[in-house]
Chains A and B, each alone.
Chain A
Amino acid sequence: MTSRLWLSLCLVLTLVLGASATALAAGKTFKLAWGTDPEALDPHCQLSGPMLQYCHLVFDPLIRWKKDNTFEGRLAEKWERIDPLTVRFHLRKGVKFHSGNPFTAKDVVWTVERAKTSPDFKALFEVFETPVALDDYTVDLKTSKPYPLLENMATYIFPMDSKFYTGTDEAGQPKDAVVKTGSSFANEHESGTGEFMVASRESGVKWVMKRFADYWEKPGKGNIEEILLTPIKENATRVAALLSGDVDFISPVPPQDYERIKGNKDLQLVTMASARIITFQMNQKKRPEFANLKVRQAIIAAVDNAGIAEKIMNKTTIPSNQNSPKGYAGYNASLTPRFNLEKAKQLMKEAGYEKGFSASMIAMNDRYTNDAKIAEAVVGMLAKIGIKVDLKTMPKSQYWDLFDAEAADLQMIGWHPDTDDSGNYGEFLLMCFDKDKGFGQYNRANYCNPKLDELSIAAQSETDPAKRSKMLQEVEKIAYDDAAFIPLHYEPLSWASKKGMNTADVVNIQDFPYFGDLEIK
């Protein structure tokens, strides 16, 4: 009796193990772990980092960024400016969607129109008129005013399969509806032109993406057959998963583990500073002392941002004196570092605050790399010039409401321009707050300089790159001279993987790894 039970147990076990062994044998699987997974399958559901990373796998943009800050065509083969308001895109022929439908200019028109109705993309696409399809493979993107950033924006156009998304689903809901908080056809189904198709997805747990057999780029640069994406939220767990070989590729990597990964002969690490500037805003209305230019200068002079970049960020980033990183149109090389503790003390004395004063500060503890530690370090630095800072750190879910309400005198904010352009920093962080026009939406310092506003607005429709660059550099200079904010550094980006992959070639400053190009040896 018992022996028979054992026998059947063994049999079951063998069967199960056998089945799992065959499952493993098929295809080259790439195991990928991100901090968070994309919110849904609908590219227009939410404008977020993971979502765009997903779009670059499953959809294709018209054009995409290259490492040297220029563009390369994807679904567009070439493009040319026809007049100040129009750019003509010549589309790739013979491209198929995952559903099998052919890709044409109609899909581009449809996608742009849809983006204009999505709450997240509405503002970015506001400047666009309805595109005009000249024939199946030529489309004109038109803007309502001369617009220098049209190419930047074209990287956000991931053509969707208009035929696939037309009609109504079983629930009677239109298939093209953009639904942010519930189920919808587009949130659960995809048909893009990308190299990978979503085979199965369990939100927050596991995504399986398989190579799309009819992909247009043949032969592709990469050789991944299947992507297994797992979000791993906890930093230490993510690193452990890579160290133990459970996954092949992780991002982001916490700075304290860089050495450990570099020291491992089977692993490689790629890092770069992004364009996301980390800053503190000094509220000039809430804290009267901050209205004094000398005080603001003293604070900036007291903050050793190079020290933070070296010690807290573990040399993974570069300290900054302005918003724009090198390579951006607005980057102003003449702006020099201002850290000088003696001068800071001197300035405090001149301002009449030799004895110092108290101020409050809020920062997040789960958003940027080492955010809470950075805030703590700044508190320590300000203590040296007599400013006693009460710091409260909190998760991002509670942060932004307080930020908007100007809950503290010093508030942390990191900013990455969606347009990957200098003008965006000024529009959101520095221009005088104007609720109706939407300017200065995140300027909670109550900083306001009409000259800066004027230049920022002018730059929005200046199509001559040289002139525009000059304007934006002037904007940086004004903010620098006004000591408008405390610049710290750029949020570091990091990717770690097993050796034998061309990791460094597929990652970029936008943090959109092009896994379609990843080659595993």
Chain B
Amino acid sequence: MNALKRFKDCYFLYSFLRDPLAVGSLAVLVVLTVAAFAAPLIAPHNPYDPATIDIFDASTPPAWTPEGSEKFLLGTDAQGRDILSTMLYGMRVSLIIGFGATILQAFIGIIVGLSAGYFGRRLDALLMRLADVQLSFSTYMVAIFLGAVFQTAFGMANYETFAVPFLILVLGLAEWPQFARTVRASVMAEKKKEYVEAARVIGLGSRRIMWRHILPNTLTPVMVISTVQVANCIMGEAALSFIGLGMPITRPSLGSLIKAGFEFFLSGQWWITFFPGALLVLLIVAINLFGDWLRDFLNPKLYKG
């Protein structure tokens, strides 16, 4: 009770409620997330069940147009899948990948950054060179390499089932150096402060100092990067889908839906690209706006890098 009251009075909430853009973006974000995860309940069709898809429904325009059908509010794609349902399911996939990959990145980044910053010297050199190697291999290469490993390990036919963890792993492994470098920089700054010195003097182990004393003080930048990274990962997955390394079209993400619709861009079947595209933009805008506010609030100078 007390904690709740304290939260209510704090500056964080006050500042948040004063910014309509922040409130609005968080509201949109919450609505979209709930809609995405409630997709099996609220979507009018199940795009994962091939038995319910009829090829003769393919490319139906949205319901309000002359050729539209009431069955499909936003029309259907080239497969005959209901766009609205596919979008909801797709958004769920995108969000899982976005959050999952960001958590993985943060996890690796924090461990590497913390050890490199705290122990310094050899380990620092080793880990930072590792980050160099990582950065010289773009996300695409990581995707290709891991794709091959996964295929040999789990077999071909199961790609659909492991595509989500696979993409989380790819995006997670590809972009951890961002976190690592930020954490390392803050750790190096924190390390010289007196409270660390004090903790060392009273004989605390380095693990305890790292995790309990230094880490909490580096979390602010991690929070800020995280919001940006969620958006980046969702976009990254869309980019991978575009070159054919993302989600399969039978289990589409928003990115692979847009990719599938990309070919229809010039052909007049605008709804196939437009709706998933608009939803993705809305989602990313909401995340970015919220992230902006968070950054401005927590540390306006952070993105100097």
Direct contact between the two chains A and B in their complex (CB within 8 A): yes
Interface of A is mostly: helix
A residues near B202, Cβ cutoff 8 Å: none
Interface 1/0 per residue, A56-75 and B, CB below 8 Å: 00000000000000000000
Question: Is A101 an interface residue when CB atoms closer than 8 A count as contact?
Answer: no
Question: Is B37 an interface residue when CB atoms closer than 8 A count as contact?
Answer: no
Q: Cβ of B244 and Cβ of A395 under 8 Å apart?
A: yes
Question: Is A254 an interface residue when CB atoms closer than 8 A count as contact?
Answer: yes
A residues near B160, Cβ cutoff 8 Å: 390-392
B residues near A390, Cβ cutoff 8 Å: 157-158, 160
Interface 1/0 per residue, B258-288 and A, CB below 8 Å: 0000111111110000000000000000000
> Which A214-265 residues sit within 8 Å CB-CB of chain B?
235-236, 239-240, 243, 254, 256-257, 259-260
Question: Is B55 an interface residue when CB atoms closer than 8 A count as contact?
Answer: yes
Q: Cβ of B249 and Cβ of A380 under 8 Å apart?
A: no
Q: Cβ of B79 and Cβ of A408 under 8 Å apart?
A: no
Question: Is A509 an interface residue when CB atoms closer than 8 A count as contact?
Answer: no
Q: Cβ of A260 and Cβ of B55 under 8 Å apart?
A: no
Identify the interface centre among A257, A304, A365: most chain B CB within 10 Å of its CB: A257
Contact of A379 among B50, B267, B268 (CB under 8 A): B50
Q: Cβ of A380 and Cβ of B248 under 8 Å apart?
A: no
Supposing A360-B156, A372-B249 touch, asked if A304 and B55 sit within 8 A by C-beta, the answer is yes
Interface 1/0 per residue, A363-380 and B, CB below 8 Å: 001100010110011011
User: What is the CB-to-nearest-CB distance from A486 to chain B, in angstroms, rounded to a whole number?
Assistant: 15
A residues near B49, Cβ cutoff 8 Å: 383
Contact of A377 among B79, B158, B267, B269 (CB under 8 A): B79
Question: In this complex, what residue of B is CB-closest to A380?
Answer: B50
Q: Cβ of A256 and Cβ of B156 under 8 Å apart?
A: no
Q: In whole angstroms, what is the CA distance A304 to B58 when docked?
A: 14
Question: In this complex, what residue of B is CB-closest to A258?
Answer: B267
Q: Cβ of A380 and Cβ of B51 under 8 Å apart?
A: yes
Task: Report the contact-size class of chain B (Cβ under 8 Å from the partner).
Answer: 20 to 34
Q: Cβ of B78 and Cβ of A391 under 8 Å apart?
A: no
Supposing A383-B49, A383-B50, A395-B244 touch, asked if A236 and B79 sit within 8 A by C-beta, the answer is no
B residues near A256, Cβ cutoff 8 Å: 78, 263-264, 267, 269
- Interface segment, one of A133-141, A186-194, A307-315, A428-436: A307-315
A residues near B80, Cβ cutoff 8 Å: 311, 377, 380
Q: In whole angstroms, what is the CA distance A377 to B249 when docked?
A: 11
Q: In whole angstroms, what is the CA distance A370 to B263 when docked?
A: 10
A residues near B265, Cβ cutoff 8 Å: 236
Question: In this complex, what residue of A is CB-closest to B151?
Answer: A398
Task: Report the contact-size class of chain A (Cβ under 8 Å from the partner).
Answer: 35 or more
A residues near B155, Cβ cutoff 8 Å: 407
Q: In whole angstroms, what is the CA distance A250 to B54 when docked?
A: 32
Question: Is A393 an interface residue when CB atoms closer than 8 A count as contact?
Answer: yes
Identify the interface centre among A254, A370, A376: most chain B CB within 10 Å of its CB: A376
Supposing A257-B267, A381-B55 touch, asked if A392 and B159 sit within 8 A by C-beta, the answer is yes
Q: In whole angstroms, what is the CA distance A370 to B77 when docked?
A: 13
Question: Is B232 an interface residue when CB atoms closer than 8 A count as contact?
Answer: no
> Which B229-276 residues sit within 8 Å CB-CB of chain A?
244, 248-250, 262-269
Q: Cβ of B50 and Cβ of A389 under 8 Å apart?
A: yes
Question: Is B303 an interface residue when CB atoms closer than 8 A count as contact?
Answer: no
Interface 1/0 per residue, B21-60 and A, CB below 8 Å: 0000000000000000000000000000111011110110
Question: In this complex, what residue of B is CB-closest to A382?
Answer: B50
B residues near A304, Cβ cutoff 8 Å: 55
Question: Is A298 an interface residue when CB atoms closer than 8 A count as contact?
Answer: no
> Which B138-163 residues sit within 8 Å CB-CB of chain A?
155-160
Q: Cβ of A307 and Cβ of B266 under 8 Å apart?
A: no
Q: Cβ of B266 and Cβ of A260 under 8 Å apart?
A: yes
B residues near A377, Cβ cutoff 8 Å: 55, 79-80
Q: Cβ of B56 and Cβ of A236 under 8 Å apart?
A: no
Q: In whole angstroms, what is the CA distance A382 to B79 when docked?
A: 14
B residues near A484, Cβ cutoff 8 Å: none
Contact of A402 among B156, B262, B268 (CB under 8 A): B156
17 A–B contacts, CB within 8 A, in A order: A236-B265, A236-B266, A254-B263, A256-B78, A311-B55, A361-B157, A372-B249, A373-B78, A376-B50, A376-B250, A377-B55, A377-B79, A379-B50, A383-B51, A389-B50, A392-B160, A407-B157
Q: Besides the contacts A236-B266, A407-B157, what 7 more A-B pairs have beta carbons closer than 8 Å?
A: A235-B263, A259-B267, A312-B55, A312-B78, A379-B50, A380-B51, A391-B250
Residues of chain A having any CB pair with chain B under 8 Å: 235-236, 239-240, 243, 254, 256-257, 259-260, 304, 307-308, 311-312, 360-362, 365-366, 370, 372-373, 376-377, 379-384, 389-393, 395, 402, 407-408
Closest 3 CB pairs of A and B: A360-B157, A383-B51, A380-B50
